[in-house]
Structures are given as structure tokens and as C-alpha cells.
Chain A
Amino acid sequence: MNLIAGTESWAQMAFWVIVGLTLGGAGIAVFPRNILYNVLGLALALSGVAGVYMFLGSSFIALMQLLIYVGAICIAIVFAIMLSRPLHLEAPERNAPKVAMAAGASAIFLAGMLGVAFKTDWVPAAQRSADWSVETIGHMLLTRYDLVFEVISLVLLVAIIGAIITAGASRRLSS
């Protein structure tokens, strides 16, 4: 009994550590002016979000998060940084009124979201199935939610072709 309570409190502590990593990484991703710190903070925050998915009961989505976001998107952003502006140039100073207005707007948004989250009386569905398996997800992706699968395939294909044409054609035009 004591042991179970012990693991419970350990899990609780791990949860708060992961939340702290996520929010800290998000802060690093937004506030420093050096773009490389931003990418590293983004990787930290996305890994933390993967941990949160683990706590929400889906290790499959957590692995996909690590694979797609941390593994692919962060690396693509690092490539774009290396191909664009040289890092030794000094970043321009921030414009204080703009920062203040952005902070005000996002604070208003945050207050609204927290109001919705706390004021609403969330009611669980009457019948809830407990089927979290990857087999069910795959089965549903190919039967009832077929459209999601097809649309995401089409969007990715269009994105690949568009990215190649945008990055390649402009090189031909400018050289």
C-alpha cells in the first residue's frame, strides 16, 4: 500500500517536472533573440509535450511527437537557419511598444481561455470505450476516418511539390 502511494507521488512529481520542462522550453523558444536558442527551446518544449501525451495515456502519439516534431521539424528549422542569415550578425533591437502590445494581447487571450476552461462544466460522455490500442487507431484510419488519411496524404504531397518548386524555382530566377 505504502509502495503504491510512493509510486503515485513519484509519478506526480515526474508530471510536474515535465510540465516545467515544457513551459521552460516554450519560454526559451519565444524570448531569447538568438534564433539557435529558440530552436533548442522548441525541441525541449516538444519533448515535454511528448511526455505529457505519455501521461495522457497514449505512448503511440508520444512517439510520433518525438519522431515528427523533434526529429523532423526541428531539424528542418535548423537547416533553414543555416541556409539563411549568418549567425554572427547582431540581431536587431526589440521594439518595446510592440512587445508590450503582444504581451497584452496574449494575456487577454490567456485570460479568456482560462475563463472558458474553468467556467465550463465539462461532462464526460455517457458511454466511454477504453480502447487505446494502435490497432484500433489504424483500423479507424482506414475505415471510418478514411478522409483524414487521404487528405493528409494529399496535403503532404502538395507540400513536398510546393516546397521543391518554391525553393528551386526562385534559385533559377535570381541567379
Chain B
Amino acid sequence: MNALSTYLVLAAVLFSLGLMGVLQRRNLIGMLISLELMLNGASINFMAFNRFLAPEPAVGQIVTLFIMGLAAAEAAIGLSLILALFRRLRSINIERAQQMRG
């Protein structure tokens, strides 16, 4: 219905907003939220190429499902790490987490 470039621009803007959030936030949960935006930008790209260019429309959907599964795994691991860090430091500010000794 719309042109391919509309979707590509939307995906690029989403990804850039997420990139800006990851670079600029200091709250770890805020960084995780921005990371989800970046993953969604990538998925929109896959679905758009799937709709307009790809020979086999099932493949892009499979890749998008794969990205969703990875995002769920990443969110679970990230959130449990954030909880562990919060118990240790009483803070989820990224600038307080500078010590590597366990």
C-alpha cells in the first residue's frame, strides 16, 4: 500500500531514537527500554523487505519471530541482572556500577 521507503524511514527513526536512549540514559531499565525500540526498528525493516522484495513471504516473518524470542530472552536476563545489581549497590544508575570484583 505504501512505498517501501516509508517503512524504512519509520524503522530508521525508531532505531535512532533507541540508539539515542541507549547512549544518553543512565538508568539501566531506561537503557533496556531503548534497546527494545532498536530491536523493533530492525524487525520493521525485515517485515518491510519481506512484504516488498523477498521471494518467500514466510521467511521474514520467521526472522521477526526469532527477533521476538531473542528480545524476550534478553529482557529476562537483563532484568534479573538489574535486580542483582540493585541488591548489591542499592542503585540502578549505570555510573555507580564501575567495580568488576564480584
Q: How far is the CB of A48 from chain B (nearest CB, A)?
A: 9
The reply to whether B30 and A163 contact each other, CB–CB distance below 8 Å, is no
Q: How far is the CB of A39 from chain B (nearest CB, A)?
A: 7
The reply to whether B65 and A39 contact each other, CB–CB distance below 8 Å, is no
The reply to whether B51 and A155 contact each other, CB–CB distance below 8 Å, is no
**A127 cross-chain contacts in B, Cβ below 8 A:** 55
**Complex interface bits, A133-163 against B, C-beta within 8 A gives 1, otherwise 0:** 0001100110001001001100110111011
Partner of A99, one of B24, B51, B52: B24
**B91 cross-chain contacts in A, Cβ below 8 A:** 85
Partner of A76, one of B7, B16, B75, B92: B75
**Complex interface bits, B1-27 against A, C-beta within 8 A gives 1, otherwise 0:** 110110111101111111111011111
Partner of B66, one of A11, A132, A148: A148
Q: How many residues of A contact B (CB 8 A)?
A: 88
Does A2 sit within 8 A of B, measured CB to CB?
no
> In whole angstroms, how far apart are the Cα atoms of A79 and B52 in the complex?
39
**A123 cross-chain contacts in B, Cβ below 8 A:** 53
CB-CB nearest in chain B for A85: B92
30 A-B pairs in the complex with CB atoms less than 8 angstroms apart: A15-B2, A23-B14, A30-B18, A30-B25, A30-B33, A30-B34, A42-B33, A42-B37, A45-B37, A49-B44, A53-B44, A56-B48, A69-B71, A76-B76, A83-B86, A101-B23, A102-B20, A102-B24, A106-B19, A107-B16, A109-B16, A113-B16, A125-B55, A128-B57, A145-B62, A148-B66, A163-B77, A166-B83, A166-B84, A170-B88
Residues of B within 8 A of A (CB): 1-2, 4-5, 7-10, 12-21, 23-27, 29-30, 32-34, 36-37, 40, 43-44, 47-48, 50-59, 61-66, 68-77, 79-84, 86-88, 91-93
Besides the known contacts A61-B61, A124-B53, A170-B83, 14 further A-B residue pairs in the complex with CB atoms under 8 A apart: A26-B18, A49-B43, A64-B68, A73-B72, A80-B83, A81-B29, A98-B24, A101-B23, A103-B20, A106-B19, A109-B16, A117-B9, A122-B4, A137-B65
Per CB-CB distance, the 5 closest pairs between chain A and chain B, nearest first, are: A159-B73, A102-B23, A102-B24, A170-B84, A125-B55
